[in-house]
Amino acid sequence: MPRMRTVDAAVRILEIEGATQAFGLPGAAINPFYSAMRAHGGINHVLARHVEAASHMAEGYTRARAGNIGVCIGTSGPAGTDMITGLYSATADSIPILAITGQAPVARLHKEDFQAVDISAIAAPVTKMAMTVLEPGQVPGAFAQAFHLMRSGRPGPVLIDLPIDVQMAEIDFDPDTYQPLPVYKPAATRAQVEKALDMLALAHRPLIVAGGGIVNADAADLLVQLAELLDVPVVPTLMGWGTIPDDHRLAAGMAGLQTAHRYGNATLLASDFVLGIGNRWANRHTGGLDTYTKGRTFIHVDIEPTQIGRVFTPDYGIVSDAKAALEKFVTVAAERKSAGTLPDRSSWVRECLDRKRTMHRKTDFEDVPIKPQRVYREMNRVFGRDARYVTAIGLSQIAGGQFLHVYKARNWINCGQAGPLGWTLPAALGVVAADPTATVVGLSGDYDFQFLIEELAVGAQFNLPYIHVVVNNSYLGLIRQAQRQFDMNYCVSLGFDNINAEEGRADDSPAAPKGYGVDHLRVAEGLGCKAIRVTEPNEIASALEQATVLAREHKVPVVVEIVLETITNIAMGTELDNVNEFEALAEASDEDLMTVGIFD
DSSP 249-298: TTB----SSSS--HHHHHHHHH-SEEEEES----HHHH-SHHHHHTT-EE
What pLDDT, on the 0 to 100 scale, is given for residue 523?
A: 93
Q: Cα(279)–Cα(58) distance, rounded to whole angstroms?
A: 23
Q: Kindly state the DSSP code that residue 230 receives in the 8-state scheme.
A: H
Is the model's pLDDT at 504 over the cut of 60? no
Handedness of CA 497, 543, 254, 413 (dihedral sign): negative
Q: What is the pLDDT of residues 100-146, one digit of tens each?
A: 999 999 888 887 787 789 999 999 999 999 999 999 999 999 999 99
Q: Would you state the pLDDT for residue 567?
A: 77
Contacts of 224 (CB under 8 A, 6+ apart): 243, 244, 248, 250
Cβ neighbours of residue 479 under 8 Å, at least 6 residues apart? 492
Q: Which of 174-183, 232-241, 443-452, 456-465 bottoms out in mean pLDDT, i.e. has the lowest?
A: 443-452
Domains and CATH numbers, the chain: 3-177 (3.40.50.970), 190-358 (3.40.50.1220), 360-586 (3.40.50.970)
Band (581; pLDDT cuts 50, 70, 90): confident
- Under DSSP, the state recorded for 370 is B
3-state secondary structure of 129: strand
Q: Is 290 exposed, middle or buried (0-12, 13-18, 19+ CB in 10 A)?
A: exposed
Give the Cα separation of 319 and 310 in Å (integer).
13
pLDDT at 150: 97
Range with top average pLDDT, 162-166, 363-367, 589-593: 162-166
Whole-angstrom Cα distance, residue 314 to residue 300?
6
Q: pLDDT class for 366, splitting at 50, 70, 90?
A: confident
Q: Where are the strands (E) in 6-61, listed by range?
A: 21-24, 44-47
Q: What is the mean pLDDT of residues 398-405?
A: 92
Model-level pTM?
0.93
- What is the pLDDT averaged over residues 209-236? 97
The pLDDT assigned to 534 comes to 94
In the chain, how long is the greatest CA-to-CA distance?
75
| pLDDT value of residue 32 | 96
**Neighbouring C-beta atoms of residue 343, cutoff 10 Å:** 16
Name beta bridge partners: 493.
475
Cα angle: 353, vertex 234, 418; to 5 degrees = 125
pLDDT at 514 over 90: no
CB atoms within 10 A of CB 176: 7
The predicted-structure confidence for 416-432, as pLDDT tens digits, reads as follows 888 788 999 999 999 99
Q: What is the pLDDT of residue 473?
A: 83
Question: What are the tens digits of pLDDT across the range 258-301?
Answer: 989 999 999 999 999 999 999 999 988 999 999 999 999 999 99
Model pLDDT for residues 555-579, shown as the tens digit of each residue: 999 999 999 887 777 888 889 899 8
Q: Residue 369, preceding bond cis, omega within 30 degrees?
A: yes
> Are residues 98 and 146 in contact, defined by beta-carbon separation less than 8 angstroms?
yes
Q: Rounded to whole angstroms, what are the CA distances from 266 to 211, 276, 358, 400, 461?
A: 19, 17, 11, 19, 47
- Structural contact between residues 265 and 579, judged by C-beta atoms closer than 8 angstroms: yes
Average pLDDT, the chain: 92
Answer yes or no: is pLDDT of 99 > 90.
yes
Q: Is 588 left (phi over 0), alpha (psi -120 to 50) or beta?
A: beta
Min mean pLDDT across 89-103, 155-169, 309-323, 496-510 is at 496-510
Residue type, 520: H
For residue 476, what pLDDT band results from cuts at 50, 70 and 90? low
**Partner residues linked to 21 by β-bridges:** 44
